[in-house]
């Protein structure tokens, strides 16, 4: 009998997207084929403490996005680099080890989607789903992401960056002159529309700027784009493919956190989007291009605007997009002919494939010298 692949599912985390991670992980766990995989669940509390969870009961109030929370088990856990593959340490009064074959870090936002967990897993020599350290870091930081996209010739909206230390010299008038009205203020390193505000006058500018700075030391201020909101799912490593695009039609003023996850009528999701074939092809091509420019691997969701003039502008890219019931990433692949469980299979396959590829690299200079000189 073939041994099951041991998949470590990591969820929760310290970011403002903690609850969304729980919702996403619940669906990923449910989609894993129990005949093929053994799920090993690891929950990270908001204070950063890691817990080994024996089953999906590790989440409380799972049907309510307002109340869902992580159950704190009595068994702490940590990833440790060990050559014998027993790389998950469990401990309470005593300690023991479990082996992981691959990790699916279903973590959104800082400490999970920004290269932090990816660096830990790389150090532990553990294959993992999604982008590596560099791709995760640059895609998480909207400032760096947009500069890379702009330098690669990918069309984006106009933006201004404000650091905390520049707060005293930042004025509404200066931002208005550069971007017009209205404009949006966002934390540079966060997702799920957490901390985002729309500014239409000087009255609420400073309050909304301070609100964004409560989540990050750097904020991005963007011009408001009048256009349709499109999202496209990308899948692959060296030769990525793109799904049919979907469209978000929010009923709120903009696609806020509440519209995404709390209000069941907050937005209408059309998958696939009603677009002419040439626009579909352009969205897919631009998504794959952005995926490559930002050094992504495994998966990503590329968000963009389609203006009334037919121009596409890339808004952002998410290297660990949501996997909730209403999330676009799995919905777009379903509309493109890939079932949820098949999508999870493919993501794990890509993670293992990349790990095998990386094994071919020299990691020790002395070994490299010996190998090269042996052939001389």
Do 85 and 180 sit in the same domain of this protein? no
Residue 21 forms part of a structural domain: yes
Do 188 and 202 sit in the same domain of this protein? yes
Whether the Cβ atoms of residue 251 and residue 268 lie closer than 8 Å to each other: yes
Q: Residue 213 contacts by C-beta under 8 Å, 6 or more apart in sequence?
A: 164, 167, 187, 219
Between 37 and 96, the higher pLDDT residue: 37
Express each pLDDT in 263-285 by its tens digit: 556 678 999 999 999 999 999 99
Residue 194 forms part of a structural domain: yes
Per-residue pLDDT, averaged over 160-166, amounts to: 97
Do 302 and 273 sit in the same domain of this protein? yes
CATH number for position 36:
3.40.50.20
Matching residue, tokens 């729309």: 198
Sign of CA dihedral 54, 60, 64, 67: negative
CATH number for position 239:
3.30.470.20
Do 14 and 120 sit in the same domain of this protein? yes
Residue 76 forms part of a structural domain: yes
* pLDDT classification of 1: cutoffs 50, 70, 90: low
Least confident of 66-70, 276-280, 307-311: 66-70
At which of 172, 196, 223 does a domain end?
223
Query: Quick one: tokens of 49?
Result: 């403490």
Residue 43 forms part of a structural domain: yes
- pTM comes to 0.91
Above 70 in pLDDT, residue 84?
A: no
Strands 5-12, 37-44: pairing kind: parallel
Do 212 and 241 sit in the same domain of this protein? no
Whether the Cβ atoms of residue 319 and residue 300 lie closer than 8 Å to each other: yes
Do 12 and 58 sit in the same domain of this protein? yes
Do 76 and 109 sit in the same domain of this protein? yes
Query: Quick one: tokens of 106?
Result: 């279903």
CATH number for position 200:
3.30.1490.20
* pLDDT classification of 325: cutoffs 50, 70, 90: confident
Per the structure, the count of domains in the chain is: 3
The order of strands in the sheet holding 50-53 is: 95-98, 88-91, 76-79, 50-53, 37-44, 5-12, 102-106
Do 329 and 299 sit in the same domain of this protein? yes
Do 270 and 297 sit in the same domain of this protein? yes
At which of 223, 250, 278 does a domain end?
223
Per-residue pLDDT at 59: 79
Residue 358 forms part of a structural domain: no
Express each pLDDT in 85-99 by its tens digit: 788 889 876 788 889
Do 87 and 114 sit in the same domain of this protein? yes
Q: Residue 82 contacts by C-beta under 8 Å, 6 or more apart in sequence?
A: 97
Query: Rounded CA gap, 237 and 347, in Å?
Result: 10
Full DSSP string of 12-45: E-SSTTHHHHHHHHHHHHHHS-TTTEEEEEEEE-
Query: Rounded CA gap, 248 and 354, in Å?
Result: 32
Residue 213 forms part of a structural domain: yes
Residue 137 forms part of a structural domain: no
At which of 170, 195, 223 does a domain end?
223
Do 199 and 294 sit in the same domain of this protein? no
Above 50 in pLDDT, residue 256?
A: no
Least confident of 14-23, 50-59, 179-188, 311-320: 50-59
Full DSSP string of 312-332: EEEEEEESS---STT-HHHHH
Do 13 and 114 sit in the same domain of this protein? yes
Q: Burial of 352 by CB count in 10 Å (0-12 exposed, 13-18 middle, 19+ buried)?
A: middle
Residue 373 forms part of a structural domain: no
Query: Which structural domain range is residue 171 located in?
Result: 158-223
């Amino acid at each position: 009998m073939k041994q099951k692949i041991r998949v470590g599912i990591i969820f929760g985390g310290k970011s403002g997207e903690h609850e969304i991670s729980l919702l996403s992980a619940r669906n990923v766990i449910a989609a894993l084929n129990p005949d093929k995989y053994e799920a090993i669940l690891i929950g990270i509390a908001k204070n950063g403490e890691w817990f080994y969870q024996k089953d999906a009961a590790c989440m409380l109030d799972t049907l309510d996005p307002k109340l869902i929370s992580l159950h704190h088990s009595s068994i702490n856990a940590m990833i440790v680099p060990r050559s014998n593959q027993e790389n998950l340490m469990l401990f309470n009064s005593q300690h023991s080890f479990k082996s992981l074959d691959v990790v699916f870090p279903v973590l959104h936002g800082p400490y999970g989607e920004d290269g932090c967990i990816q660096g830990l897993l790389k150090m532990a020599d553990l294959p993992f789903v999604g982008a590596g350290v560099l791709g995760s870091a640059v895609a998480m930081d909207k400032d760096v992401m947009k500069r890379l996209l702009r330098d690669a010739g990918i069309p984006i909206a106009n933006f201004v960056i404000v650091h905390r230390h520049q707060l005293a010299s930042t004025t509404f008038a200066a931002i208005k002159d550069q971007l017009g009205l209205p404009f949006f203020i966002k934390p540079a390193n966060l997702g799920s529309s957490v901390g985002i505000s729309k500014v239409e006058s000087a009255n609420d500018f400073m309050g909304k700027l301070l609100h964004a700075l409560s989540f990050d030391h750097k904020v991005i201020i963007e011009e408001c784009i009048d256009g349709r909101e499109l999202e496209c799912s990308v899948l692959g490593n060296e030769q990525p493919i793109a799904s049919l695009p979907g469209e978000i039609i929010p009923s709120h003023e903009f696609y806020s956190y509440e519209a995404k996850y709390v209000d069941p009528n907050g937005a209408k999701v059309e998958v696939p989007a009603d677009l002419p074939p040439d626009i579909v092809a352009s969205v897919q091509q631009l998504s794959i291009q952005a995926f490559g420019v930002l050094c992504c691997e495994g998966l990503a969701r590329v968000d963009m605007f389609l203006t009334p003039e037919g121009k596409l502008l890339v808004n952002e890219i998410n290297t660990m997009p949501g996997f909730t019931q209403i999330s676009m990433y799995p919905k777009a692949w379903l509309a493109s002919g890939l079932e949820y469980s098949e999508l999870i299979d493919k993501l794990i396959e890509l993670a293992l494939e990349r790990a095998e590829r990386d094994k071919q690299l020299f990691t020790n200079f002395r070994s490299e010298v010996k190998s090269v000189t042996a052939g001389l």
